[in-house]
Amino acid sequence: MVPPMRPVHLLASCLLLAACGDDPAAAPAQPLPAPAQLDALASDPAVLARGRQLYLTGKGYCTTCHGVDGNGGPQGARLASGQWLHGGSMAEVVRSISEGYPQKGMRPWKDSFSQDELIALAAFVRTLPAAAASAASAK
Ligand code: HEC
């Protein structure tokens, strides 16, 4: 006969689930933080530095299609034009990166990055238009 599940087992499986949160592939989709909190993260220098690193050297190979400066390449959309095809708010850019545009050539990245990483990537990508504009005016 199977013994009834005791509370201690429930606790153990909750802890196990929490530990799984480190593995983005296994983690259930988390709701995004509220817009104000996302905007605060978007101006946090540590978040931007992390996003820059992930954009330039991360496993998403973002630069292959979008270019180091976001000016795009043969197959990628420009990220530095200042015109977002799919919306430029933090939530919208996180969504673009998470879900991708498979029919246009960008796969979804939500299984490759944690939510914090997706937020960091979005924060950094949103700085590309201003960086491109100041590079252009410095010429
Ligand atoms: C294989 C090429 C490819 C790779 C790699 C790629 N993208 Fe894209 N991405 C695209 C294409 C193509 C689009 C344009 C979709 C469209 O035209 O609607 C796009 C669109 C986007 C958009 C939406 C732009 C807008 O105007 O709204 C964002 C943001 C973005 N990519 C970020 C990233 C990030 C961050 C990475 C790395 C994790 C990445 N992309 C990797 C090809 C790529």
Tokens found for residue 58: 């991360």
Residue given tokens 């879900």 in the structure block? 99
**pLDDT value of position 14:** 39
pLDDT at 59: 87
For a substitution probing ligand 1, which of 96, 111, 114 has the most ligand atoms within 8 Å of its CB?
96
pLDDT given at position 28: 58
Provide the residue-wise pLDDT of the chain in tens; the chain has 139 residues: 555 555 444 444 434 444 444 444 555 568 999 999 999 999 999 999 999 999 999 888 999 999 999 998 777 789 999 999 999 999 999 999 999 999 999 999 999 999 999 999 999 999 999 998 888 888 7
Instruction: List the structure tokens of 129.
Output: 């238009």
User: Which residue has its alpha carbon closest to ligand 1 atom 39?
Assistant: 62
Ligand 1: which atom is nearest the Cα of residue 109? 38
Q: Is 85's C-beta closer than 6 angstroms to any atom of ligand 1?
A: yes
Q: Are 80 and 128 in contact (CB under 8 A)?
A: yes
Q: CA 99, CA 30: separation in Å to the nearest integer?
A: 14
CB distance 65 to ligand 1 below 6 Å: yes
101 C-beta closer than 6 A to ligand 1: yes
Taken in order 82, 87, 91, 95, the sign of the CA dihedral is negative
Distances from the Cα of 12 to the Cα of 7, 8, 86, angstroms: 9, 6, 42
Residues 6+ apart with CB under 8 A from 135: 69
Cα 66 to Cα 48: distance, rounded to the nearest angstrom: 18
In this predicted structure, what is the pLDDT of residue 9? 46
**Whose C-alpha lies nearest to ligand 1, atom 31?**
97
Evaluate: CB of 121 within 6 angstroms of ligand 1: yes
Q: Is 51 exposed, middle or buried (0-12, 13-18, 19+ CB in 10 A)?
A: buried
Q: How far apart are CA 23 and CA 46, in angstroms?
A: 22
Per-residue model confidence (pLDDT) at position 3: 52
pLDDT of residue 11: 43
pLDDT attached to residue 4: 52
